Chains A and B, each alone.
Chain A
């Protein structure tokens, strides 16, 4: 498979499009957890119940469309190959839990991959909307519409006092988790992040590395989300997160300006060294790749590097993970083979950018 063809199939809209403040906020996500009344939660439900829930979605939602989203496709976990599932996880469309531990799990995916509805994960239904850039309000609006669309066919487990009932009490109430992925290289370089994280935690928000709890912040990418789901309205939860994100954006921009002023040439050097590694290396581990991609992306944002599209960080961070590399290779790879293929994929992707830039110059 050629790289271009692979990219066309692999890249979802949030990776390739730009949204507001996308120099710092890579993506915004809303997740709503819902359960169907009269069915036991996935913690204990029987195989028959699980199958009935999948049937409801197959009957009413598969191949249907909602708003401008195009048709939804129902993917059943037990019908997918391990590599296919892994790719969905690496694209953040499904959780590792759904891929690995849920035999009756399924996923209702919109054509542009902006929306994925996980079925029979920790809760019966988890609606997820993923938008490029800083668009939490827009994502919440869409999630609400999908929620109403689904409620047309099923009765939700809801309690006047406790709200939407979820299998874990950490999600009860709104069932809402709002999160943003942020690229914060300057706050790391200026060593401010260690001071900022506890402050954010005190506001009832959680800061994590890219791949959820406990994962380290590869490529200076952080995920910030709400902790509290009960006692606040959906709009308030999103507004509170937004105000913190806006402050972080301002802090990061200030730190970037300060860096440019104080160590201009050193920073430029660092950016181009990283570019050199990505453009020339023959073997590269994911951690080094993530760090270099972060530097190059910062270089693009600061204007040191031109003619490379900004979303290369989002895209390559996703595409250089083991699952994608194996899909690109068309089979299983040993870790050292992955490192070789990762280096090749990045080199070719950068060459594609050079070609695009040259064609642009000629026209």
Chain B
């Protein structure tokens, strides 16, 4: 298969993008993939790279990387837009630069957290008091929305209207705190 960008070199990087259920496949050579690094920074089926990430995280360096320099270039370009730490830097030092890194590297982090915390990825402990209030309200709204759908399916519209009003008043509470949306 020939790279669809330069139409010269063989395509060695294969990306699958799914947006709203619409699947697009892109086949690039290493050179063009590198140029598109920020567009295709999340290779979907990267089983081998998880190994790399883990070794990077646990040994503070990645021996695989030395022998296969090109395979991970997309990963290197990943960067936290707040503190500017790159993913590559993170794998070297094993520590994040700021709280936003957890969002910036969310996708890469998932398998790492699983490995580190016996398969767990979702917090189940204490919630800080101050921001805790809005989290509780948001969770309540989510539950009510589900209930609303169920009631509409069952065509119980009177009850549905009650639930809708409850959701509205909770949402009003949230926006009063200045933390709506």
Contacts and interface: CB of A to CB of B under 8 A. Distances in A.
Given A151-B128, A169-B113, A173-B123, A159 B98 contact: no
Given A40-B83, A169-B109, A174 B98 contact: no
B154 interface: no
A158 B127 contact: yes
A163 B125 contact: yes
Contacts of B6: none
Contacts of A231: 117-124
B99 A35 contact: yes
Interface stretch (B12-20, B38-46, B89-97): B89-97
A122 B99 contact: no
B106 to A, nearest CB: 9
A167 interface: yes
Given A228-B118, A230-B113, A168 B94 contact: yes
Interface of A is mostly: loop
A176 B125 contact: yes
Interface in B126-150: 126-131, 135, 138
Contacts of B97: 40-41, 43-44
Contacts of A169: 57, 94, 96, 109, 112-113, 116
B85 interface: yes
Given A43-B93, A228-B117, A232-B120, A173 B98 contact: no
Nearest to B135: A160
B123 A162 contact: yes
B96 A43 contact: yes
A173 B125 CA distance: 7
Contact of A151 (B116, B120, B123, B129): B129
A334 interface: no
B95 to A, nearest CB: 5
Contacts of A236: 124
B157 interface: no
B122 A161 contact: yes
A165 B83 CA distance: 15
A165 B102 CA distance: 8
A211 interface: no
Nearest to B96: A167
